[in-house]
Amino acid sequence: MIEPTVSVIIVSRGRPDSLRRCLTAASQLIYRLFEVVSVVDPAAAAAVRGMPFADQIKIVEFDEANISLARNEGLAHAAGEIVAFLDDDAVPEPGWLCHLVQAFADPDVAAAGGYVRGRNGISFQSKGQAVDEFGYTTVLPLSSDDIEVFSGRPGMAIKTQGTNCAFRRDIFCEIGGFDPAYRYYLDETDLNMRLAVQNRKTAIVPRAEVHHGVEASATRKKSRMPRSLLEVGASQVIFLRKYAPDAERDAVMEDFCGIQRRLLIRHLVAGNCEPRDVERVMTTLRAGISEGSGRAISPAPAIPRKDRDFRRFRQASADYRHEVICGFRSRAPGLRRMARESVRQGAIVSLYIFSATSRYHRVSYSDGHWEQKGGLFGRSERSGPFFLFTGLKQRLKKETHRVASQRDPRNTAHLVGLLSKNTL
């Protein structure tokens, strides 16, 4: 397959630190022909311009609280054949784009979506799903880690997650961009439904992984406790107005409100809010429903081509070096110094820090490297055994194999550091 050019679009508003981390991870993508289009508010634009590879990024300043309009602006500046989307509080695995783009070798594939890991860097936040005319989702029957292609139909679409999806730009523009009526929530689902009306095919790519940490924003706290559900309520009403039968909308909205209240009660039980917060947030939901009922719905806008210049991101390359560093927790400072130095020298780095326990593992991305820490005998995949009888080298082999398709798809891993309790 001839590698297509890809525009990676990242929208950010009010989270410059998260954006810097996301862009650092993007700079390590294992793919030759991609550009980065960053649609940002003024504070985030200043943060991007301070990064060492700022001249390689298309910086598009946009300061309106409407994610659909912001993504459309990014699309207008995208020059790639494929457009891919990331959230600013997410980080892609180095092999993300390499895997995601493979789906477009099938000329009938219009869209592709990957898997999203949650906060612990291990468990999946989302995999493959279908979504119906009411916004209800069902799990797709995926049988392996191979790419699988599904066809949508009117009333049933293949869902892609906004933080891990890609589309053919020409088809995207043909059906119109994101609908600005969705200022937040269901914006990409609406696009999925429009693709389904045309019976377009969507690929699910399990190996195309993104980690989504869920940072605080204007609409939610870091705990995921909503600050406001106004736009969620408005978007849900708009979605039903566009796709659901009139006779069933009221019942679906009543169910939706019940689901939102139950989620708020869970936050209350978890200590993320106080009792008065539940009714306050539900009030914003009802206000959003009222606003969405009167918000104008019009055909999705055509997307002009504002920039035909493809600005290849030169920092990353198909030629890469993957270095593995491993040791026990007592040597963590030295291990991290070694990891940072390898990153400075241009390597993709996987750092493993073990303790002599059975603690569950967590994966995070910081200072330009991937760090996995947990008990030598503990679980990484949550479906694994509670206690694993193993030694350090055996466990390292197991964990590097687990992420090999993400960090090292060409099997070039090089062990540069193995610090145990008894070594310097």
Other Cβ atoms within 10 Å of 366 Cβ, number: 14
Q: Is the pLDDT of residue 300 over 90?
A: no
Other Cβ atoms within 10 Å of 421 Cβ, number: 11
Q: Is the pLDDT of residue 415 over 80?
A: no
Other Cβ atoms within 10 Å of 56 Cβ, number: 16
Q: Report yes or no on 300 lying in a domain.
A: no
Q: Report yes or no on 22 lying in a domain.
A: yes
Tens of pLDDT, residue by residue over 195-218, are 999 999 999 999 999 999 878 888
**One domain, residues 237 and 206:** no
Q: What is the pLDDT of residue 222?
A: 87
**One domain, residues 134 and 269:** no
Q: Is the pLDDT of residue 384 over 60?
A: yes
Is 48 in contact with 26 (CB distance < 8 Å)? no
**One domain, residues 97 and 148:** yes
Q: What is the pLDDT of residue 218?
A: 84
Average pLDDT over residues 332-354: 95
Average pLDDT over residues 92-107: 96
Q: Which secondary-structure segment (H or E) carries 132?
A: strand 129-132
**One domain, residues 155 and 277:** no
* Predicted TM-score (pTM) of this structure: 0.93
- 3-class state of residue 153 by DSSP: strand
Q: Is the pLDDT of residue 219 over 90?
A: no
pLDDT band at 422 (very low <50, low <70, confident <90, very high): very low
Q: What is the pLDDT of residue 387?
A: 93
Q: Is the pLDDT of residue 413 over 80?
A: no
Q: What is the mean pLDDT of the chain?
A: 92
Other Cβ atoms within 10 Å of 79 Cβ, number: 19
Question: What type of residue sits at position 130?
Answer: A
Is 358 in contact with 387 (CB distance < 8 Å)? yes
Tens of pLDDT, residue by residue over 123-152, are 999 999 999 999 999 999 998 899 999 999
Is 124 in contact with 116 (CB distance < 8 Å)? yes
Going by the DSSP 8-state scheme, the letter that residue 423 receives in this structure is: -
**One domain, residues 248 and 395:** no
Nearest-angstrom CA–CA distance, 111 and 131: 15
Give the whole-number percent of the chain exceeding pLDDT 70. Answer: 96
Tens of pLDDT, residue by residue over 15-32, are 999 999 999 999 999 999
**One domain, residues 276 and 338:** no
**One domain, residues 265 and 138:** no
**One domain, residues 77 and 190:** yes
Q: What is the pLDDT of residue 421?
A: 42
At 272, give phi and psi (nearest 5°).
-85, -10
Other Cβ atoms within 10 Å of 271 Cβ, number: 9
Other Cβ atoms within 10 Å of 340 Cβ, number: 16
Q: Report yes or no on 41 lying in a domain.
A: yes
What is the tally of structural domains in the chain? 3
**One domain, residues 78 and 182:** yes
pLDDT band at 423 (very low <50, low <70, confident <90, very high): very low
At 203, give phi and psi (nearest 5°).
-100, 140
Tens of pLDDT, residue by residue over 153-168, are 999 999 999 999 999 9
Domain boundary pick from 294, 309, 343: 294
Q: Report yes or no on 220 lying in a domain.
A: no
Which pair of structure tokens corresponds to residue 44?
């985030």
Q: What is the pLDDT of residue 424?
A: 26
Q: Which domain range does residue 77 map to?
A: 6-212
- 3-class state of residue 398 by DSSP: helix
Instruction: Quote the distance between the C-alpha of residue 375 and its chain's center.
Output: 27
**One domain, residues 242 and 343:** no
Q: Report yes or no on 308 lying in a domain.
A: no
Q: Report yes or no on 138 lying in a domain.
A: yes
pLDDT band at 320 (very low <50, low <70, confident <90, very high): confident
Nearest-angstrom CA–CA distance, 287 and 292: 9
**One domain, residues 198 and 271:** no
Which pair of structure tokens corresponds to residue 377?
């005998």
Q: Report yes or no on 106 lying in a domain.
A: yes
Average pLDDT over residues 245-265: 96
Q: What is the pLDDT of residue 326?
A: 95
Q: Which of 228, 221, 115 is nearest to 163 (CA)?
A: 115
Q: Is the pLDDT of residue 1 over 70?
A: no
**One domain, residues 259 and 367:** no
Q: What is the pLDDT of residue 317?
A: 58
